[in-house]
A and B are shown apart, each in its own frame.
Chain A
Amino acid sequence: MWEMFKDLMFEANLRENMEATHRRGPEGRFPTLKKLQAYLQNKILVSSITMDGDSGTTDATQLGIAGEFMTGGTYVLQTQDDDGDESFNDHDDGNGGKDHFREQDIYLPIANVARIMKNAIPQTGKIAKDAKECVQECVSEFISFITSEASERCHQEKRKTINGEDILFAMSTLGFDMYVEPLKLYLQKFREAMKGEKGITSVTGAEGLGEELTEDSFTGQLPAGLITADGQQQNVMVYTTSYQQIPGVQQIQFT
């Protein structure tokens, strides 16, 4: 029975992949050769299973899958004979079904992604449309990848909140250690900018702020220097909330 359950999960996963393919339009994508072969060889007979768990078919109950596995999402699994299009229409996005499958339907806006890509490649280069869509998905995958690694470490250390250190550590663990240095600099710069703005105006109107940004998140730190890429010191005027000026330079070492 476990074998059948595993097949079922695999089937659903494959379905999701093919779903994404279908949603992209007629061009679509073929799943990997191995997956497709395995899928056809399995020939699992299933039907759609609703959120309530009362699929109404004997297959699900025979498989003995508890209702809670399938709640929060609708999976449409298909026999070989079914018309592909029908089941695609039935498929619900399953926003609640995060228990065993990552939510891969949430993407960053394609315009933003495309813009960043364009800035990265040489001026004369062009980008195919399916490449843009594809990078969109890759981005979501990347975020989930980093987050799950950071979250795991957090759990190991019995903490509940993922902080910046976790993210940086996750990145160097996963082979993105070339990002770590620029990111530290970026964070430093951003904090500077935030502090400066906070001192001058009481409204934090910086671009891209989330709603939950409170003043509390920036208390207790007052870096008065800036480390530049080439190690030269710069004079920085730091405005505190009491409007005292602190000229001069202090070097801050990242541990």
Chain B
Amino acid sequence: MSEKNMEEKVEQAASSKTISLPISRVRLIMKSSPDVSCINQDALFLTTKATELFVQHLALASYKNGSGRETNTLSYSDLANTAEETETFQFLTDILPRKILAGDYLKSLEEMGKDDDNL
């Protein structure tokens, strides 16, 4: 991230004292991980705030990624592309698969079948 973005984020963080996400829900999600017993209050606050930053980060990066088009809309494919291309978001590739047309899929299935035959 560029210097300017960093400063903006820091200002935002410093200025906003309130959280806009429900903490109890965040705790619920955290507890759903295996082997998690107790979570400190600080950890909870930090995670909630970090989630906000993450959403902003992801939304902005995806929006910029797709800004070449005229539609000005952030779409699913923008997100999927960003997840593939940006290293930080690589962990999202499993839940953000790129869409493929059924026709294309069937073609590739045929090709795979041919490969098997050749073997």
Residues of chain A having any CB pair with chain B under 8 Å: 17, 29-33, 35-37, 40, 98-99, 102-104, 106, 108-109, 112-113, 115-117, 119-122, 124-128, 130-131, 134-135, 137-148, 150-151, 155, 160-164, 166-168, 171, 174-176, 178-179, 181-183, 185-187, 189-190, 193, 207-213, 217, 228-229
Contacts and interface: CB of A to CB of B under 8 A. Distances in A.
Contacts of A151: 33, 35-36
Given A125-B74, A126-B74, A120 B59 contact: yes
Interface in B69-105: 72-76, 78-79, 87-88, 91-92, 94-100, 102, 105
A109 B32 CA distance: 17
Nearest to A40: B109
Provide the main secondary structure of the chain B interface. Answer: helix
B84 to A, nearest CB: 11
Contact of A167 (B11, B35, B47, B78): B47
A26 B87 CA distance: 31
A213 B41 CA distance: 7
Contact of B97 (A29, A144, A190, A211): A29
Contacts of A141: 91-92, 95
Contacts, number: 238
Interface of B: 1, 6-7, 9-14, 16-30, 32-60, 62-63, 72-76, 78-79, 87-88, 91-92, 94-100, 102, 105, 108-109, 112
Contact of B51 (A108, A127, A208): A108
8 contacts: A30-B102, A125-B63, A125-B73, A144-B32, A163-B42, A168-B46, A182-B9, A208-B22
Closest 6 CB pairs of A and B: A164-B42, A182-B13, A103-B32, A120-B56, A161-B38, A163-B40
B78 to A, nearest CB: 7
A176 B98 CA distance: 24
Given A120-B60, A141-B92, A183 B105 contact: no
Best-surrounded residue of A29, A116, A119 (most CB of chain B within 10 A): A116
A189 B79 CA distance: 32
